[in-house]
Amino acid sequence: MEGGLVVSKNKILSRKAIEVVYDYFEISCGNGELNFDTEIPVGKGYGSSTADICATIQAVSQALGKHLTYQEIFKLCARVEGASDSTILPNMAMLFDHTKHEVLQIYSKSFPKMHIVGFDSDVTQSVLTEKLIRPKYSSEERRIFKLINNLLTKVFSDQSVELLGRAATISAEINQKYYPKKNFKELLEISKDIGASGIQISHSGTLIGLIFDDETWNKELSSYCEKMIQRSYGVKAYNFQLGGTI
């Protein structure tokens, strides 16, 4: 890169994003300094790399006096990183192709009201998205994913946490072969015993979440989940509410 641009040493993808933006607008790289103020853990599945890349692309384009549409930002993200999430889009329920950087479907309703108990399943591990090997799903696994996509339409139309949990769990079970999570089988059995609607995982990270219907959630269940996760994984669990009118 030419010019005197200063970027944090550990923000390799952001440095690449700067180059991509200048190249997109066919402008020679200038001088400047890019600083980050973020508390997003890296390599855990929170989408930290996508957040950095999107923030960089928008900051640089604005500094150049340019405006980018969501579609253009996705296009530039694809040049920087092979896969990303829908961080840049407004807060809405959607089906997003993270490898083609395309919105496949936007659902007319929000997520059903639920509680998520999230935690880091392996504090010793950190996953770099750009180094992940994409799974080669079998024809049967692809068929199941299509059924899951169809199920999601009913999830939002019926506002069903149960169906959402089922869809997430099926996906997690398939991906356990490609993105294994610590103590997954044990957690799956426990989730059934305590009445969780399902399990969701981060593919490019170590995060796991237990999904509960808002109507079944209570303080006793919250306390049990925290103790169980502490015992099985040695980490703190975080409870938060999602969907519906909060």
Contacting residues for 224 by C-beta, under 8 A, at least 6 apart:
194
Q: What is the mean pLDDT of the chain?
A: 87
- Location of structure tokens 């040493």: 9
pLDDT at position 102 is 81
Domain 107-242 in CATH 3.20.20.140? The answer is no
> What is the location of CATH 3.30.70.890 in the chain?
107-242
- Location of structure tokens 């015993």: 193
- Location of structure tokens 């890296």: 42
Q: Which residues of the chain have pLDDT under 50?
A: 1-3, 246
Based on C-alpha coordinates, what's the Rg of the chain? Answer: 20
> What is the location of CATH 3.30.230.10 in the chain?
5-80
Name which CATH class applies to 5-80.
alpha beta
pLDDT at position 156 is 93
| 6-41 pLDDT tens trace | 676 678 888 889 999 999 999 987 777 888 888 888
pLDDT at position 92 is 76
Closest CA to 117 of 215, 242, 243: 242
